Amino acid sequence: MRISYYNGEYVNHDEMKVKSGDRAFYFGDGVYEVVRIYDGRFFTLDEHADRLMRSAEEVMIKGLEREEIIEILHEIKERNGITDGALYIQVSRGIAPRDHGFPDGSKPVIYASIRSSKRPEQQMESGVRAVTTEDYRWLKCHVKSLNLLANVMEKQHAVENGAKETIMHRDGVVTEGSSTNVFMVKNGILFTHPADNLILNGITRLEVLKLAEENDIPFREEGFTVSDMSEADEVFYTSTTQEITPVINIDGRKVGDGSVGGTTRRLQSFFNKKITELISVKQS
């Protein structure tokens, strides 16, 4: 039986009832995180918890306790016994009659659930196709908000065009994917959009930049255009569940020679080593 958490209770996931007055239901008024579990251990749990707290603060959700979040995540993991999975947690502003203004006296509502999730080994090995489109989202993309309709529409754009991801741009400058951060390699230099309000500062994005610095791979956090990307040697995207995924074709055109590039392979190898080290700590 799969156990989830909602509004103070651990319940059978299939029998869980969401309150109709939950502002997540009415307005998407909340924030969320997805945390990866490898062989029973959380990967970058503190970083995800910290970002959840920052997102809540950014949209003025008050009364959320970091310690409570950590406790719920551990409890959900233990109750379900899933060793390789993804744990989803969201926080809404609370339960109240439907009114756009913030309700007085409401308490944040926490929902958490877990699912088994295998590493996307085939797509990481072979690479994927992507398409591009205009980024028309709001200007607080650094908040991991429940308001994901634009992202859903962009992901469907990829699906309908036989691609895995949609890479978005504002006036030609690449921002990010519909559910990923995007990187380009040109002449041995790694490029990615700076962590401002136009992108979500992904946890895996940050891990990749750390790995690049630790292993003498030059990188620049600066914008690049769709035109620049069309002449890139390599392109890849990152996320918690998709890790480091090479992009070998964009809008029907090969990236580089159409194969996975050397810098991408190096970063995948360094990332794999971090996961192996995490698992080894558990076993020792």
Residue 192 pairs in a beta bridge with 183, 221
Q: Which residue in this structure is represented by tokens 């060793």?
A: 83
Catalytic choice (144, 164, 274, 282): 144
Nearest Cα neighbor of 11 from 89, 95, 87, 112 is 112
Nearest Cα neighbor of 230 from 184, 192, 171 is 184
Residue type, 86: A
Residue type, 187: N
Any catalytic annotation for residue 274? no
Query: Which two three-digit tokens encode residue 227?
Result: 């035109």
Query: Which two three-digit tokens encode residue 184?
Result: 């380009």
Q: In sequence order, which ranges of 127-202 are alpha helices (DSSP H)?
A: 149-160
Nearest Cα neighbor of 38 from 243, 203, 213, 175 is 243
Q: Which residue in this structure is represented by tokens 């980024």?
A: 135
Contact residues for 280 (Cβ-Cβ < 8 A; gap 6+): none
User: Crossing angle, helix 45-58 and helix 203-214, to 10 degrees?
Assistant: 130
Task: Cite the active site residues.
Answer: 144
